[in-house]
Amino acid sequence: MANRIRAEEKGNNIKIMYDEDIPDFVMGDDVRLGQILNNLVSNALKFTQNGTITIQVSLQENNTDDVLLYFAVKDTGIGVAKEKQQMIFERFIQANTNINREFGGSGLGLTIIRKLLQLQNSDIQLESELGKGSTFFFTLRFKKSTAITSREEKIQSFEKQDLKSISVLLVEDVAFNVMVADGMLQNWNAKVDVAENGVFAIEKMKQNKYDIVLMDIQMPVMDGYTATQEIRKFDTITPIIALTASISIDIQEKASHVGMNGFVTKPFNPNDLYAALYRNTIGRVN
């Protein structure tokens, strides 16, 4: 959410390009991946004014046991001269001292990103041209999940309906996840409001009426389980869907126990997210 606000303040657009050929479930370190992407997006926003930041995730290899995914964050910002490109990966070093005065601080965090990727047998790459923007990209290999990905055939086969009558409260603290989910929801014309944690979610639920809540389970300040329990004290009707990286039996049971109506796994698959929204709003009256 913070990155989205910063984008609006600087007149920037954020675009998401997600390859729907990527398998629904893969196994990897979602925490580190979130840190890397958030850092890259924040960096792109810092050095871009009235431009576009594009986040791309695509399938490079689809093997029997694993997949290789390509991640890129592209901006139309100030760019980096070719002779300075390796320098910015050095700790506390900036490509141009004038940048520090104009934009404030180094703001790059590329040393941390490089270390996080190297821990996963990868590395950060850069393509850039001064005055024309930059593309930071990397690849990561993920094992295929053994989870059974059963979907209702009717959800697969029918044409997605316009959700312009649906108001959604998205409760999520990871900016990248907010941007992905928000992009999908807006594409279906749903009305979206965002809360960064459980405390804000409770406040918004008391002040507004929503058709459905998408509730992340793991958040700072107040997690999704606790927030749902508190919401159920004054609202037992509005559907609350858990957002989780795991679909273990324990998580499903706990989510049901606190009053959640279902779950959607992360990273978000458009068909699964739409199915959860449809089933718990429009589909309930059919």
5-38: pLDDT as tens digits: 677 778 888 888 888 788 878 888 887 888 899 8
**Cα–Cα distance measured from residue 236 to residue 243, given in angstroms and rounded to the nearest whole number:** 19
Structure tokens belonging to residue 150: 């059963």
For residue 284, pLDDT beyond 70: no
Name which of 105-114, 120-129, 179-188, 206-215 the model is least confident about: 105-114
Is the pLDDT score of 243 beyond 60? yes
Q: Looking at residue 206, what is its pLDDT? A: 96
Instruction: For the chain, list the domains and their CATH numbers.
Output: 2-144 (3.30.565.10), 153-285 (3.40.50.2300)
Would you say residue 105 has pLDDT above 50? no
Residue % of the chain over a pLDDT of 70: 84
